[in-house]
Amino acid sequence: MDTICKNCGNAFQGKYCNQCGQKVIEGRLSLGEFFHKFVHSFTHVDKGLLLLAKELFIRPGIVAREYIEGKRAKYFNPLQYLILLVAVSTFLTLNYDLLGPKNLQGLLNSTDPQVRFRAGMSNFFYKYFNLVLFASVPVVAFFSWLMFRKSGFNFAENLVFVSFISAQRTLFFIIISPLLYFTKSYWYISIGLYYLFWIVYFIYAYIQFYQQGKLLTVIKYIGVFILSFLIVQSVAMGFVYLFMLK
């Protein structure tokens, strides 16, 4: 006898609806079931996040390839993962001044153009920190697609890959945030450590994902990094000159 799905109305057999995937619901909702679902939702998501975080540190390129090839249920969604980590890193950065000196509004009126420019750039990155992180992902994905066209991955697949590793880079930033906070006088050293991890980790991920020659991949990634950095910095500088230093 067919079961009628209470979610979509589809007739099916078994424990799960073949149309929407909802499990068969029998009887009325109880208080115990309500709290069980509540706890399970958090523990399930937590396990998914922990698994993904661990796997992305060990085999980032392989994880992205598996996700693209169809293993979607195994891993947390890359865009959700990116949004979650960017939200956490933005909160920490804005509340604990992790990018160096903050609130340099007064220096925007300095007679020294270099002082005004540095103050403008600092204010820009603090104000639009989350947008910069998000906007850089499609830029890097585009240049990755351009540099590695022979790999056969389309732009969307490159976007999945870059979303995964950009989120993991952001996780590393969160991990070292206490170091950034307690060494504010030498913030550039901690930021340097972050950039070093960023470059080494991305090279490691690119080698795994594209599976081309290591030296060729390193050279191409350097091109991706430089082009992406120039685009993001140019947009930031243009915004600062046009709107913040008027």
Question: pLDDT tens digits, residue range 167-193?
Answer: 999 999 999 999 988 887 787 788 889
Does the pLDDT at position 55 exceed 60? yes
Q: How many C-beta atoms lie closer than 10 Å to residue 65's C-beta?
A: 19
Section 58-66 average pLDDT = 96
Per-residue pLDDT band for 98 (boundaries 50, 70, 90) equals confident
DSSP 16: B
CA-to-CA distance for 177 and 98, rounded, in angstroms? 7
Query: b vs e for 79-90, b when ≥16 Cβ sit within 10 Å of the residue's Cβ?
Result: eebbbbbbeebb
Domain that holds residue 125: 59-244
Per-residue pLDDT band for 160 (boundaries 50, 70, 90) equals very high
Section 134-151 average pLDDT = 96
Instruction: Domain count for the chain, please give it.
Output: 1
Domain assignment present for 28: no
Residue 83 corresponds to which amino acid? I
Per-residue pLDDT band for 144 (boundaries 50, 70, 90) equals very high
Domain assignment present for 20: no
Domain assignment present for 181: yes
Domain assignment present for 126: yes
pLDDT of residue 38: 59
Does the pLDDT at position 112 exceed 80? no
Domain assignment present for 194: yes
CA-to-CA distance for 228 and 136, rounded, in angstroms? 7
Domain assignment present for 48: no
Q: What's the pTM?
A: 0.80
Domain assignment present for 161: yes
Domain assignment present for 214: yes
Per-residue pLDDT band for 7 (boundaries 50, 70, 90) equals confident
